[in-house]
């Protein structure tokens, strides 16, 4: 029997009963419409504000060498597919709790179902780039998740992280809560906290990254995004429109979590929020944080790491039996 994560409670875990598996991620799977569309709108926002990758990483991928990339919580797979198209010499491995909505995978896009709260399944020093975007709603221990990402990175490889700041704001620093009371819902952040998740990962991203050992050359940027198409700037207008569309879906995405949390009328509150966003004069904005960092150490000959992997595998086999 198919399960509708937008309208049904999924047993102990609020939303997730997909393909017979149950887990603690609190939003619907990326392959469920309209969650797919919401994630793809937000993908465009990230891309137009920060690019799929920073220029430094683009230069690294353009040097002709075969490069291995891990996309942690790859969602719809849109980022991975665009990367493969732009850089045909790369291999992207996407991991997620559920399949992306892709029927035919290009040969250089590998996908694996894996719960990354249990750590990464890969050997140390496996990937040249590890990409993490907007997965905090599934990570009760964001620090350990990052530590695992650094472990599987090759020395001098790149860690790329982006996370949303869940607090709407006004550009002039005015009180967004007074102007947009329905959009500024505390209860959503409280519901995440109730599930041992940190809604402030985006706001504290620099701190999270600084606390992971083994990284260097850390650069953190905050990007400002309009929540509606109020700007005359063509890019800001577009990303404002994408955000407004994503917001029109977000109410459905989080409703079961809010019901679980004890909110009596999440639909009514959200509908009021959507109405608020129709008034472009308020100029609401949101931010996301973006980090590029490198793993300490020199980039060696990849065959060195293959030897290391072999040694590690042999050691594990010996330990097991």
Ligand X SMILES: C[S@@+](CC[C@H](N)C(=O)[O-])C[C@H]1O[C@@H](n2cnc3c(N)ncnc32)[C@H](O)[C@@H]1O
Given the rule CB under 6 A, which residues bind ligand X? 25, 29-30, 39, 43, 73-76, 95-98, 115-117, 133-135, 138
Q: Which is nearer to ligand X, 68 or 96 (CB)?
A: 96
Q: How far is the CB of 97 from ligand X (least distance, A)?
A: 4
Instruction: Give the span between the Cα atoms of 93 and 38, in whole angstroms.
Output: 22
| CA 47/CA 160 separation, integer angstroms | 13
The two tokens of residue 102 are: 């892709």
Q: How far is the CB of 137 from ligand X (least distance, A)?
A: 6
CB nearer to ligand X: pick between 138 and 252? 138
Smallest distance from the beta carbon of 296 to ligand X, in angstroms?
25
Q: What is the DSSP letter of 122?
A: S
Q: Shortest Cβ contact with ligand X: which residue?
A: 138
How far, in Å, CA of 286 to CA of 46, rounded?
12
Residue 279 makes CB contacts below 8 A (sequence gap 6+) with: none
**Is the Cβ–Cβ distance between 191 and 240 less than 8 Å?**
no
Cis peptide bond prior to 81, omega within 30° of 0:
no
Q: Minimum Å distance from CB 249 to ligand X?
A: 12
Shortest Å, Cβ 133 to ligand X: 4
Q: Is the peptide bond before 34 cis (omega within 30 degrees of 0)?
A: yes
Residue whose CB is less far from ligand X, 43 or 195: 43
Q: Which is nearer to ligand X, 176 or 201 (CB)?
A: 201
55 sits in which H/E element? helix 55-61
Q: How far is the CB of 38 from ligand X (least distance, A)?
A: 8
Backbone angles phi, psi at 45, to 5 degrees: -60, -50
CA distance 246 to 240: 10
> 34 vs 282, which CB is nearer to ligand X?
34
Of the pair 99, 237, the CB lying nearest ligand X is at: 99
């Amino acid at each position: 029997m198919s399960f509708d994560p937008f309208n049904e409670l999924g047993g102990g875990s609020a939303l997730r009963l997909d393909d017979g598996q149950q887990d603690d991620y609190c939003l619907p799977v990326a392959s469920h419409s309209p969650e797919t569309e919401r994630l793809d709108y937000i993908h465009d926002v990230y891309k137009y504000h920060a690019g799929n990758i920073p220029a430094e990483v683009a230069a690294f991928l353009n040097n002709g060498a075969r490069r291995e990339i891990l996309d942690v919580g790859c969602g719809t797979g849109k980022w991975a597919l665009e990367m493969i198209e732009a850089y045909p010499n790369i291999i992207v491995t996407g991991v997620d709790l559920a399949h992306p909505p892709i029927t035919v995978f290009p040969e250089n896009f590998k996908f694996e179902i894996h719960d990354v709260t249990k750590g990464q399944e890969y050997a140390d020093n496996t990937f040249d780039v590890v990409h993490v975007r907007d997965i905090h709603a599934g990570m009760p221990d964001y620090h350990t998740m990052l530590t695992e990402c650094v472990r599987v990175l090759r020395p001098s490889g790149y860690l790329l992280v982006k996370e949303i700041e869940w607090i709407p704001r006004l550009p002039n620093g005015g009180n967004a809560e007074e102007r947009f009371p329905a959009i500024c819902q505390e209860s959503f952040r409280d519901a995440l906290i109730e599930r041992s998740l940190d809604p402030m990962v985006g706001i504290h991203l620099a701190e999270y990254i600084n606390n992971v050992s083994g990284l260097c050359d850390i650069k953190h940027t905050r990007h400002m995004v309009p929540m509606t198409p109020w700007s005359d700037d063509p890019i800001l207008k577009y990303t404002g429109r994408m955000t407004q569309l994503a917001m029109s879906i977000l109410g459905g995405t989080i409703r079961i979590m809010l019901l679980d949390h004890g909110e009596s009328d999440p639909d009514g509150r959200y509908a009021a929020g959507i109405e608020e966003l129709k008034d472009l004069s308020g100029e609401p904005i949101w931010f996301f944080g973006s980090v590029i960092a490198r793993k300490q150490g020199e980039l060696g000959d990849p065959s060195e790491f293959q030897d290391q992997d072999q040694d590690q595998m042999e050691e594990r086999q010996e330990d097991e039996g």
